[in-house]
Amino acid sequence: MTTVFTTLLFGSRVGWVIAGVSLALISVVSVGVSLGWISFGFDTSRYATAPASWVVFVLASFMFFGICIAGFFWTHGALRDNEVRFRDLAEGSLQCILVFDHDNRVLFANRAAAKAFGYDSIEEIMAAEPLASFIAPHERARIERYRKARMAGRPVPNIYEFEGVRKDGSPLWLENTARVIEWEGKPANQATMIDITKRKKAEEKIRKLNAELEQRVEERTAELHATQKELVRKERLATLGQVGATVSHELRNPLGTIRNSLVVLEMGLDGKKPEIQRSVNRMVRNIDRCNKIIDDMLEFARAPGLKLKKTAFDAWLGTVLDELKVPSGVTVDRKLDAPKAHLEIDGDRMRQAFVNIYDNACQAMLEEIEGKGSAINRALSVSTKASKGRLELSITDTGPGMPPKVINAAFEPLYSTKSFGVGLGLPIVKQIMEQHDGGIEITSQQGRGSQVVLWLPLRRTEQT
C-alpha cells in the first residue's frame, strides 16, 4: 500500500505538484498561526515563542520552494506530455517526419519516413548514417546551408523541394517543410516531408512530351517551308521554261539577222576605219552574250540527260585548262593530285560547270583590278584530290570574296549580283553536279577571296 501511495504521489507529475502545493499551503498556515492570524478556534499564543521574523522567514522560504517545485514539475510534465502527444501524432502521420540534432543525427523518425527511404523499420532508419545519407550529393550543400541559417535565425526558405536517396541508392523527390523545435530541452530541426516522386516523374514526362511536340512542330514547319520553297522554285522554273521558249523563238532570228549584217559590214570595212571596227566587235560580243543567256534558260529548264563516259579526270581537266584563256593580270596555278581517278562523267556538261566557276572567279578578280589599278596581281588556283570517298575539284581565287547572304542565295534561279545575265550560272552548275550524284560547296571570306569545290562520288574501282 505504501509503494502504491509513494508511486502515485512522487512517481507522476500530479503527485509532485500536489506535494509542492501542500508544502506551500502548510507554510502559509504555519505563518498565519505563528503570527496569530489564524486560530482555528483555540489559543495560538503559546506557539508564538520564536521571534516572529524568523518564523515568517523560514516558513515563507518553505512556501517559495513549494511553489517552485510545483511549477517545475508542472512545466516538465507538460513538456513530456507534449512530446508524447507529438510522438503519437507523428507515428500515425502519412507524412515523413524526421527530427535531427545540430550534428545531423536522427533523433526521431516515423514509419512513413522509414518506408519512403526504403528502411524496414523505424529502428533501422534511426541507426542509419547521419542525415546526409538521405540527401542526393548535389543537394547536400544547399540543405546544409539552409539548416545553419535556420538555426542561426536568419531568413531562409522553410518550404522547398529536394532530391533524396533511398537505402538502395535509388532517387526520390521530396517537398520539405522545415522548422526549429525544442527536443529534450535542446534545439533541433524538424523536417516534415511529402513524397512527390510520382509528381516529378509526371512533370518530367510532360516536359519531354512538350519538347518532343515542339521538335515535331519545328520539323513540320521546316518541311512546310521546304515544300513551299520547292513549289515556288518549280513554279519559277516552269515560268522560266515558258519564257525561255518564247525568247528563243522571238529573239534568235532577229539576233541571227543582226549578226549576219554585222559580218557583212565587217567585210565591207576591210580593216579600214578601226573605230567602226571596234564598235562592230562590241556588238558581236553582246549578241553572243544574248545567245548565251537564251541557251542557259533553255538548258536549265530542259535539264538534258548525261552522256557518261569513263574518263581520267586529271588528264581531262588538264586539257580543259590548256584550252582556256588566262586574263591579263591573273595567274593560274594548277595542282592535280588525283592521277589515278577514273570516273563516269559527261565531259561536255562537266566542262560547262567548271568553265562557269572559272569565269566567275576571273571576272571577280578582274573587277577588283580595274577598281584598284593594273599593278595588283591576282592568282587563281585549280587543284584536285581524292579524299573521303570523293573526288574534289577546288577553284580558289584571291578576289573580293562574298558576304554570307550572297552565298545563301547564289543557287537560286534568276538571282544575280552582276549587271548582266539572268542569274542561272551557279544553278546550272549545281544541276550538273547533282546529275553526277555530286555537289558544290562554297566558302568565302570578304577581302580574301572564295573557294568553290565541285565534288563527285569516288568508288573504290574508280581510284585505280
Write down the pLDDT at residue 186.
87
140 plus 52 within the same structural domain? no
Mean pLDDT estimate for the chain: 78
Phi, psi at residue 93, to the nearest 5°?
Answer: -75, 145
Query: pLDDT tens across 112-139, in order?
Result: 999 999 998 888 888 876 777 889 999 9
Q: What is the CATH number of the domain that holds 164?
A: 3.30.450.20
Indicate if 323 and 284 belong to the same structural domain.
Answer: no
Residue 86's contacts (CB-CB under 8 Å, 6 or more residues apart) are none
What's the CA dihedral at 317, 318, 323, 329 to 10 degrees?
100
213, 174: one domain: no
**Which stretches does DSSP call E strand in 26-144?**
96-100, 106-109
Report the C-alpha gap between 435 and 72 in whole angstroms.
101
421 and 330 in a common domain: yes
Question: pLDDT band at 9, cuts 50/70/90?
Answer: very low
Query: Percentage of residues in the chain with pLDDT exceeding 70?
Result: 70
Same domain membership, residue 436 and residue 412: yes
Residues 313 and 448 both lie in one domain: yes
Range of the domain at 108: 94-195
Q: Is the pLDDT of residue 422 over 50?
A: yes
Do 313 and 409 lie in one domain? The reply is yes
Same-domain pairing of 178 and 320: no
Average the pLDDT over 238-246 and give the result: 68
Provide the 3-class DSSP secondary structure of residue 196. coil
Per-residue pLDDT tens digits for 301-312: 666 778 889 999
Mean pLDDT of 436-446: 90
Beta-strand (E) ranges in 347-438?
A: 378-387, 390-397
Instruction: Report the pLDDT value the prediction gives residue 8, as an integer from 0 to 100.
Output: 40
Same domain, 313 and 447: yes
Note the pLDDT tens digit of each residue in 325-374.
888 888 899 999 988 889 999 988 899 899 989 988 888 888 765 555 55
Of 302, 337, 369, the position where a domain reaches its end is 302
Q: Is 183 left (phi over 0), alpha (psi -120 to 50) or beta?
A: beta
Q: Which has more confidence, 368 or 262?
A: 262
- Contacts of 304-310 with CB under 8 Å at 24 or more apart are 304/349, 306/345, 306/346, 306/349, 306/435, 306/436, 307/346, 307/348, 308/344, 308/345, 308/346, 309/344, 309/345, 309/346, 309/347, 310/342, 310/343, 310/344
In the listed set 55, 89, 123, which residue is the last one of a domain according to the structure?
89
59 and 156 in a single domain? The answer is no
- Predicted confidence at residue 88, as pLDDT, reads 60
Best-predicted range by mean pLDDT among 34-38, 390-394, 403-407?
390-394
pLDDT at 419 over 90: no
Give the model's pLDDT for residue 59.
Answer: 54
Whether residue 101 sits in one domain with residue 84:
no
- Segment 189-214 shows an average pLDDT of 92
For 28, what's the count of Cα atoms within 13 Å in the CB-facing half-sphere?
A: 9
| Phi, psi values for residue 171, rounded to 5° | -85, 155
Last residue of a domain, one of 59, 89, 119: 89
Q: Are strands 439-445 and 449-457 parallel, antiparallel or unpaired?
A: antiparallel
* pLDDT confidence bin for 53, thresholds 50/70/90: very low
Q: What is the mean pLDDT of residues 256-285?
A: 79
pLDDT band at 22 (very low <50, low <70, confident <90, very high): low
pLDDT, greater one: 91 or 161: 161
How far lies 305's CA from each of 174, 294, 370, in Å?
69, 19, 40
- The pLDDT of 266-293, averaged and rounded, is 78
- Please state the domain count of the chain: 4
Looking at 270-336, list the stretches that DSSP marks H as alpha helix, in order from N- to C-terminal side. Answer: 274-302, 313-323
> Where residue 374 sits, what CATH number does that domain have?
3.30.565.10
190 and 128 together in one domain: yes
All three cell numbers of 238, joined, read 516552269
